[in-house]
Every structure is written in C-alpha cells, then in structure tokens.
Amino acid sequence: MGTPAGGGVECTDAAAPTESTEHVVEMRIPRTLLHALVVAGPLAVLLIVLAVPIRAIVLALRDALLAAPAAPTHPWRELTRWLVLLGNTATVAGVALALALSLGTALALLIARTDLYGRRLTRLLIGWAACTPLYVTATFALAALPGVHLSQSAAQCGVLYGLVYAPLATLLVAFSLRAIDGSLEESALLDATAGRVMLTVTLPLARGGLVAAGVVLLVLVVTDFTLTDLLAVRTYAEEAYSQYRLDGRQVGPLLTGLPLLAVLVVVVATCRRLLTALMEAAWARSALEACRFRLRGTRGVTSLVVLSGLLAVVLVLLGATAARIRQPGQLGETVAVVWPDVINSLWLGALAAGVIVLAGVGLAWRLAEGGAAAWLVGVAVIFLASLPGPVVGISLIGLLNHPAWPVDLYDSPLAVAIGYVVRFLPLGVVLLLPAALAVPRGLREAARVDGGDELDVHTRVVWPMMLPALPAVGVLLVILCLGDVGTATLLLAPGWDTAASRAFSLLHFGVYQDLAVLGLLTAAHALAAYIMLTLALRWRRGGEPGLTE
C-alpha cells in the first residue's frame, strides 16, 4: 500500500487494536482471578484455618511462660492431675473401642458377608443410628434408663460411648470387609467351616480396615466431652471445656489439651495409609467378588435374633422418649420452641459444608498429585483432624472476640459456621481424597499436552471427575455439623441456639418435654439425611446399591 498524503505513516493491522485483542485483554483479569480462586484459594483457606489453633496455642504458651515466675505451680499436683486425666481418657477410650469394635465386627460380618434375611432393613436401622447425633442417643438412653446412676465412672462412660458408636463401627468394618478378595475365602472353605474361615482368613485380611476404624473411633471418643461432662468424668477434652467455663481464660484449657493433641497426631500420622485405604473402600463403585457365607440351618434363627433385637432397641428408645411428652396439649408450643434450633443447625451446617466442599476439592487434589504442596496439606489435615473439640471453640473465641474486626462475627451465628469449617475441613479433605485419587492420570496429562494450564486441569478434568462424590460428602458434613457439640456450645451466639447447644444444656436437667421433642425431631432429620446420603451414594455409583442401602 502507498504512503498516505501528507507524509504520514499508515497504521497497519498489527499496530491497531482489534476487537479480538481487546476481548482477550478484558478476559485476562477475570481468568487470573478465577485461577487464584480455584487453584490457590483452597490452599489459602487451609492456611487460614490452620493458623487459628496455632495462634491460640502459641499465645497460650507465651502467657504461661510469662506468668510462671509470678505464679509458681506445684509440679507434683500438676503431675497428679495429668495422670488422672490420662487414666480416665485411656479407660473411656479403651472400653469404648473394645465394645464398639466387637459389636461392630459381629454385625458387619452378618450384614456384609452372610446370607442373613432382612439385610436391607438391618442396614437401614444401623445407618440411621450411625447418623443420629450423640446427644440425641444420650437423650434416648436417659429416657429409657431412668434412675440409673452412672456418674463419675470412666468405665461406664466408655460403655455408653461404645454402644453409641457401635453402628458407626459396623459400617466402617463392613466397608473394609467389602474390599477383601473373595477367592481366598472360597479356597479356604474347601477345607474349613465358614466360622473358621471368618476367624482365620476374613478378619486377618481386614485387619488394616479394623485398625483404621479403631483410629476413627478413637478420635471421635477422646475429642468429645458430651457424655464425659454429663457423667462428670475428667478426661482431657472434658477438663479443657470445664476449665474454660469456670475460669474464662484460655491458657489453662489450651495447654491441657496439648498432650492429647500430640498423641492423636502421632496415631493419625502413623495410620494415614490405612485410613486412606478405608475411605477408598467406602467410596468404591463396586467391590471385589465377595464371598457370601451361608448360615444354613441357623439362618432363620440368626436373622430373627438380629432383626428383632435391633427393632426392639429402636422401639424402646423411641417409645421411652415419646413417653416423656407429658403434656400433649402443649406439643405444638414445644415444637415451635425447639424447631428453630434444628433449622439453625441445618442451615449453618449446610453453609459450612459448602465451604468445606469447595475448598476440599482443591486440597484433595493437592494430596493426590503429591509434591511439596501435598506434604503441607497432609501435615495440616493430620493436625486439624486431631484437635480436641474444646480447643477449636476456645481458639476461635480468642480470635473472633476482638474489636479489630470490622463486623461483629463473635455475636453472630456465622461464628458457629466458621467453627464447623475449622473442625471438619480435614475430614472433608479425607472424604474427597478417594475421588481425587480416582481421576485418571492420562486425562490430566492430556489436558496439559493440549496446552491447558492448572485452571484448565481443575475446571475440565478434576471438578467434572469428582463431581459425583460431592453431594454425598456434603450430606456427610451436614450430619457431622448437626452432631457437633463443642463448636455449637462454645461459639453460641445470643438468640441463635442450635439443636446441639440446647440439647447439651437440657441433658443436665433430665429428659423433660422440651428435650424429648428436640431429640425426636433431630432423629427424624437424621433419618432424612441418611436417606439423602444413600441416594447420593447410589447416584455416584451409577445406580449400583451399596452397603449403606
């Protein structure tokens, strides 16, 4: 082309901004922001959550060192107190684990590996019981056992914990049993009876899952203070909660929970591979060909005993609780009082579950990918999963109850939701890890070969492949939030009672009408949550029923 008149230089197409170039410039900023949210956001959430207890523990250690010269302690008295806490905690946990795993293993063998009649109904009852919050089960037990004196007995407290967590132990052991290769059992059945094969082949093959189930139960028992506070048994978690309620200072309670935290970190870290294997077995789309042991002549009697026993327990507990409604004419008023508490628990739990799932997908993917980031995520998950319940609540109180915040988070219901996120983010990551591990490596590499960056890998490979697991994980997290007492009790905002906080308060005065109605309503919602969980799991498996159905 010629030079324009006047000696000017012609503007070529390369120099002039085109419409497509402007579009790319406009889209670059949103894409950069999306990259930060999707790729770096989950890691930022984890670091913020991790900073909450670490900040509180560091400040408690500093205050303790500064106060030591001015307020000397008696070392022998402190040593005696810690030994008492250690003995009580070990007794409660030992009895609970022995009872829960014994009952759970027996029931798991029956529902997962035998031709028992009514397995579907049995699984429904056990699954409902496993999803029912601890404080609801305690309400039912107190209603059915009036006048029974259990106060200040660590062994009896362990028995109660064992009975409460036996349904959960049943499901966990059943998940580990489904991962066993049935061909080994079939070969053993040629030379031995079914009972002998179960003892010498099935259970030894499932020992990894049994250990992992024991670790899960151990963490649940020793970090909870619902029954220990009710029975006045001094464990580490109970002592931390009681100290803070009586004194109001954070130093003593936080330092009291440190030994328990250290032990749990070591235990969980040691068994991390077994826990991952248990989660993979629980989420498996299909099990290996399982060996179905035949009960033969005892099938009818065994089925009758198991089903009638479970139904009798459920009916007695529900009937005894319903009998505590002494004023049926005021039932509507009672429901109007406690119904908002259940609703608060559900929407706060759903809010926290949404945050955990959004962050958990990226964190689980980091763990599955390996590398330095995976090491950081793994350490943080182990540390956070080992935190006693009171430590989480006390740590957040010290952080949120501060005038520097532009909004009053401490006196809002969001404090409870934040507590749920801190408490259950590590569990959400662990639950999502099997889905992340199942993402084919070939798809990731293909996306990168085609020129995709980390954002493309996340949005086009990771999220679509992990999507079927998200509803089930979300429902599980809501169930966990519904049953959490430590967070809801310590971070309770005025006028925003939850089912857990109100039930924990009412339990100390006996099972009267308010508590009975609250327990029955919460149990009904737990049943609905369990049904939603089974539907979500079936959808994930493409319509294939699982052990929870």
The CATH number of whichever domain residue 454 belongs to comes to 1.10.3720.10
pLDDT at 38: 73
Rounded to an integer, what distance in angstroms lies between the CA atom of residue 165 and that of residue 97?
9
Smallest Cα–Cα separation from 430: which of 224, 199, 233, 212?
A: 212
**Do the beta carbons of residue 211 and residue 274 sit within 8 Å?**
yes
Query: Which residue segment(s) compose the domain that 298 sits in?
Result: 82-540
Instruction: Say if 132 falls within a structural domain.
Output: yes
Residue 130 token pair? 């496993």
- Sequence-ordered alpha helix ranges (H) in 329-440: 331-369, 372-385, 389-400, 414-437
3-state secondary structure of 293: strand
Instruction: Say if 268 falls within a structural domain.
Output: yes
Instruction: Say if 254 falls within a structural domain.
Output: yes
**Do the beta carbons of residue 365 and residue 462 sit within 8 Å?**
yes
- Sequence-separated (6 or more) residues with CB below 8 Å from residue 184: 201, 205
List C-alpha distances in Å: 326 to 157, 170, 323, 342, 426.
Answer: 29, 35, 7, 22, 43
Smallest Cα–Cα separation from 411: which of 505, 491, 341?
A: 491
Instruction: Say if 316 falls within a structural domain.
Output: yes
Q: What is the dihedral of CA 332, 351, 172, 97, to 10 degrees?
A: -70
pLDDT at 429: 94
Instruction: Say if 302 falls within a structural domain.
Output: yes
Number of domains in the chain: 1
Instruction: Say if 54 falls within a structural domain.
Output: no
Rounded to an integer, what distance in angstroms lies between the CA atom of residue 197 and that of residue 187?
10
List C-alpha distances in Å: 111 to 167, 187, 250, 275.
Answer: 12, 22, 47, 22
Instruction: Say if 273 falls within a structural domain.
Output: yes
Rounded to an integer, what distance in angstroms lies between the CA atom of residue 130 and that of residue 149?
26
Instruction: Say if 55 falls within a structural domain.
Output: no
pLDDT at 2: 46
Question: Tens digit of pLDDT per residue, the chain (549 long)?
Answer: 444 444 444 444 444 445 444 444 444 557 677 766 777 788 999 999 999 999 988 988 888 787 765 555 566 677 788 888 899 999 999 999 999 999 999 999 998 888 889 888 999 999 999 999 999 999 999 888 876 666 778 898 999 999 999 999 999 999 888 877 777 778 888 788 877 888 888 888 888 889 999 999 999 999 999 999 888 898 988 888 888 888 777 787 888 888 888 899 999 999 888 888 888 777 765 444 455 788 888 889 999 999 999 999 999 999 999 998 888 888 888 889 899 999 999 999 999 999 999 999 999 988 888 888 889 999 999 999 998 888 888 899 888 887 777 778 888 889 999 999 999 999 999 999 988 888 887 777 777 777 667 777 777 888 888 888 899 999 999 999 999 998 888 888 888 889 999 999 998 888 888 999 999 999 999 999 999 998 988 887 664 555 555
Largest CA distance in the chain: 109
Rounded to an integer, what distance in angstroms lies between the CA atom of residue 254 and that of residue 243?
9
Enumerate the β-bridge partners of residue 114: 293
